[in-house]
Structure 1
Amino acid sequence: MKMIACPIQGLRPVSEFFYWGEVLDSPDPDTCTDQEWADYVFNRNGVAGIKKEWWCHIPSNTWFVAERNTVTDQMVRTYFYGEDGRC
């Protein structure tokens, strides 16, 4: 069974989690162009490798960032948003 390390609950079965999508920097809606906003809303980077993604542990409603290798589907690490200077 695939396990994910929740930052609060520790290792839990993947069935307890919800995937929300890639962590992306939002452009300023007041200053960006329509094309920049459309690119942010609709386009994603499909290149294989390590991705930063939003995940939620459903029982505790704990949202966190997971770095996942999309080639091997292995979780590299998990942490709360803002705890990593690379977020």
Structure 2
Amino acid sequence: MKIMTCPVNGPRNISEFQWLGPVHAEDEARDETLVERLFLAPNPMGVLREWWRHTPSNTVFIAERNLISDEILRTWLKGSDADKPTSAA
């Protein structure tokens, strides 16, 4: 059984979650790029930030997932400290 941690409700079975798509930069939401984003989505390998929803509580959050190993690295709510970019060490 695969477990995902909801930032509000804690660890839950993955069947309680709905994938909502990759996180895009706010400046990408322009009309001229909308069709490309919807129908010509890239398939990157590596770590991707995605929107997820915990369906029983309707909590929408961001998860960072390794697409190669399908491992969920971390989850957080939009606007929290985890949402801020980290500096390179």
TM-score, normalising length: structure 1:
0.83
1:37 CA displacement: 3.3
Would the alpha carbon gap of residues 28 and 71 (structure 1) be closer, same or farther in structure 2, given more than 3 Å must change?
closer
The amino acid of 2:17's aligned partner reads F
> Residues of 1 paired with 2:37 and 2:79: CA distance?
20
Tell me the secondary structure at the aligned position of residue 53 of structure 1. Answer: strand
The amino acid of 1:85's aligned partner reads K
Question: Counting helix residues as a fraction of each chain, which structure ranks higher?
Answer: 2
1:50 — aligned with what? 47
The alignment status of 1:3 with 2:29, answered yes or no, reads no
> Residues of 2 paired with 1:55 and 1:28: CA distance?
19
1:28 CA displacement: 5.3
1:23 — aligned with what? 23
What is the percent sequence identity of the aligned residues?
A: 38
The equivalences for 1:70-85 within 5 A come to 70-83=67-80, 84-85=83-84
The equivalences for 1:63-74 within 5 A come to 63-74=60-71
TM-score, normalising length: structure 2:
0.81
1:24-70 Cα deviation digits (max 9, x unpaired) = 124353xx6x3x33333333231211000000000000000000001
Would the alpha carbon gap of residues 28 and 17 (structure 1) be closer, same or farther in structure 2, given more than 3 Å must change?
closer
The alignment status of 1:59 with 2:56, answered yes or no, reads yes
Q: Which runs of 5+ in 1 are unaligned?
A: none
Calculate the aligned-residue CA RMSD, in Å: 1.6
